[in-house]
Structure 1
Amino acid sequence: MKIAYCIRQDWDSPSNKGGDTTQLLKTMENVLNYDNSVSILVLTDPNLLDESFDIAHIFNFATLDISKAFYERAKSLGIKIAFSTIFWNYSYGYRLLGKHFDNNFFRTIDRYFFLSLGKIINKPVVLSSKFKAQSIKFIKGADVLLPNSIEEYYQLCHFTNLDPEKYINKVSVVFNAADVKNNVYIEKSEFLKKYDLPDKPYILQVGRIQLIKGQLNVVKALMDVDIPIVFVGFKAEQHYFQKIKEISKKRGNVFFVDYVDNKEVCNFYKYASLHVLASLRESPGLVSLEALLNNCKVVTSNQKYLPFDTYFNKIATAVDPVDINSIKNGILNEIKTERNFDAIKNIIVSKFSWEKVGIDTYKAYKKIL
């Protein structure tokens, strides 16, 4: 079995590594561990996809142009297509009128403002009519769909107005995962000195600094709360970072750490009060799983913004990421909540391990060959 792992060109650059990068690498590692006779090549150029491949495994609906190019190339060559959808509909993340009036008219107004915002900040708009039309082709044309949760699949169908029952036979849910086997721990004083951090518990957020991740709202929510905030991640959107920096100066006690190798991130979880991810879209947010595996409490967005029920029900606190008071109350409540991390880690290891990802993905490949 020869498989092409098809992904965006900058997937492995330090500034643009994301959940799709981790998912690709860990899936590949564990598929190969399960069956070492499998051959996998990572491709970023659709022209390198040829008839020697049995399957084109394409990662991420949101990277529309490159995913479309790989999809069309695979179709033209008659190669089976597996699609890791990595999708969540965040068109109402900037709820304006729709925050108070839940009907189609106001949702349409919301979507207009959201799409306009996407153009203003010069970022790809993944909720346009073009994206919707191509997503429909992906769903209809793929041989197997590999969402990270069943909620993700229903989100896709709702967004594209497709009947979920019609394509459910194509779906093989492959949960996202986390592990701690590559963790490299640093002595506390050395760690704090290396990253210039305070010697007291802090609120942590790991991930690229960009509008969708909600760092600005975290600072706003904690303006009058006397606890340090630590952001770890590449500054992907400079304009957004400047806004965070300005409000952080007014608040004080906010620390920014640029990109950190994943094997050292465990140290940030270890000394944090909790990890917060008030994001507008995740599937489900690998850093939240990693935090829990590292005995770090978690506050994350509610089920409107990610598959909370599948991954975090009863083991983390859910908040509304566009509601400052919700974020503040969620953080303060979670700090006071007792968590049984032995039980939590047992849940994650049994349901959300990369070994299981490898096995489930391999079985999905076999199903379509």
Structure 2
Amino acid sequence: MRVLMLIRTDARRVPGGDVVQMDQTRAVLLTRGVSADVHLVGEDICWSRYDLVHLFNIQTVQESSRACDQALRHRKPLVLSPIYWDPLPAWFRFAPDRRRVWRFLIRVMGRSLAYSLYAKWHRMRNRSRTEWQSQRQILTTANVLLPNSTAEAKQIVRDFRLPSATQERVMVVPNGIERSMYDPLPRPHSGVRALLGDRPFVLQVGRVSPEKNNLALIYALRNCSWPLVFVGILSPYHMDYVAEVRAAAAARGNVHFIDHLPHVELPGVYRLAAVHALPSWRETPGLASLEAAAAGCSIVSTCIGSAREYFGQDAQYCDPMDVDSITRAVETALASPPPAHLRERILEHYTWDVAAQKTYEGYQLALDSRSA
């Protein structure tokens, strides 16, 4: 089997969970005899070499639409990992700054009711917009859809009003960790230990960017003496936000920024942290949260996305719109040890071996559907 894996053009410059998912799945598939090449959307490709196309991420709509069209033109079965969650909660966060009507409605109706109205308005409006139509076209064109959770699958079906024929082509592929990096427990990262000594700290691994809500985490811990460590690149697309984060960090003090580390070094950083906090605007479920839990961290996760499907009652959840909610979740996590069985469950059920096997089954289904 020869697979062409396609991903957004800035994947190597601005890496994220979609890149990790692709790279780690590919690494396991290669050990199982699958030939898999990675290309960025738009690169010159010899399409005749491949049996099928695996596209990652529909949030970069123009690029994903182009890749879908190319797969169709070259008559290749298309497998899609959508990596999608409803962006409306994040958009609503900034709506009052952009339109006075939302400031007024929040004041009169309350945030919850105003958001319900905002969501209904946006969904009605979206169906006449090119972006929504393009995403729906990609989803209905794909031979197989591989969402990372049942919750993500339901979200896609609802948001894009997918027909029953498309729903039948959905196969859930959970995200994972590389078990050998976490079992046995990793050795502490020497560089971070040299920076902080043996002091426990709160960690966030991921880009410094609005969707990761770094600023709210700093505000939430303004009265907490624990060190706060961010590991990840500064988003080149949001330098104004990065400047705000830097200023808030300087005002709080005891905040440390570590540039993007090689993936192999992250387990040792997680091992030193007391809590990993990811109060993002959405996560599906957040690879960093999975990895941190496998290293023995207590977990704080956004309530928006599929994290509950993975962590259940073994994590603390917060509302990214509410700084006090983030504070309470982190304080609760700091006050209690991580559940031992959470690490064990992740090592058993959420590994790249498991994900690769289910992905392979999705490939077979796509090939079978084309030949049927």
Q: How many residues end up aligned between the 2 structures?
A: 347
Contact 2:51 2:76 in 1 (8 A): yes
Quote the offset at 1:46 in angstroms: 5.5
Structure 1 length-normalised TM: 0.87
Alignment partner of 1:77 out of 69, 74, 77: 74
Q: Which amino acid aligns with 2:330?
A: I
Quote the offset at 1:308 in angstroms: 2.3
2:48 counterpart residue number:
51
| CA distance in structure 2 between the partners assigned to 1:23 and 1:310 by the alignment | 18
Q: Which amino acid aligns with 1:161?
A: R
Contact 1:248 1:254 in 2 (8 A): yes
Matched, 1:27 2:28: no
The residue matched to 1:73 in structure 2 has which SS?
A: helix
**Structure 1 segment 208-247 matched on structure 2, within 5 A:** 208-236=207-235, 237-247=238-248
Quote the offset at 1:209 in angstroms: 0.3
The residue matched to 1:282 in structure 2 has which SS?
A: coil
Q: Which runs of 5+ in 2 are unaligned?
A: 97-105, 368-372
Deviation per CA, 1:64-109: give whole Å up to 9, x if none: 2221111101111211000010001121223453723157533367
Q: Please, what is the CA RMSD of the aligned residues?
A: 2.5
Structure 2 length-normalised TM: 0.86
Quote the offset at 1:58 in angstroms: 0.6
2:111 counterpart residue number:
99
Q: Which amino acid aligns with 2:4?
A: A
Contact 2:179 2:351 in 1 (8 A): no
- Change over 3 Å in CA distance of 1:212–1:189 after alignment to 2: closer
**Structure 1 segment 1-369 matched on structure 2, within 5 A:** 1-13=1-13, 16-34=14-32, 36=33, 38-44=34-40, 45=42, 47-93=44-90, 94-95=92-93, 97=106, 99-101=111-113, 105-107=117-119, 129-163=129-163, 165-182=164-181, 191-193=192-194, 196-197=195-196, 199-236=198-235, 237-302=238-303, 305-341=304-340, 343-369=341-367
Q: Which amino acid aligns with 1:82?
A: V
Contact 1:91 1:127 in 2 (8 A): no
- Change over 3 Å in CA distance of 1:92–1:127 after alignment to 2: farther
Identity over aligned pairs, percent: 28
- Change over 3 Å in CA distance of 1:110–1:326 after alignment to 2: farther
Contact 1:46 1:70 in 2 (8 A): no
- Change over 3 Å in CA distance of 1:314–1:249 after alignment to 2: same
1:119 counterpart residue number:
none
Q: Which amino acid aligns with 1:349?
A: L
Contact 1:6 1:42 in 2 (8 A): yes
Deviation per CA, 1:299-318: give whole Å up to 9, x if none: 0011xx21023111122111
Q: Which amino acid aligns with 2:155?
A: Q
Quote the offset at 1:252 in angstroms: 1.2
- Change over 3 Å in CA distance of 1:106–1:79 after alignment to 2: closer
Contact 1:46 1:69 in 2 (8 A): no
Q: Which amino acid aligns with 1:42?
A: V
| CA distance in structure 2 between the partners assigned to 1:175 and 1:255 by the alignment | 32
The residue matched to 1:92 in structure 2 has which SS?
A: helix
Deviation per CA, 1:49-70: give whole Å up to 9, x if none: 5233211111110122221111
| CA distance in structure 1 between the partners assigned to 2:160 and 2:188 by the alignment | 50
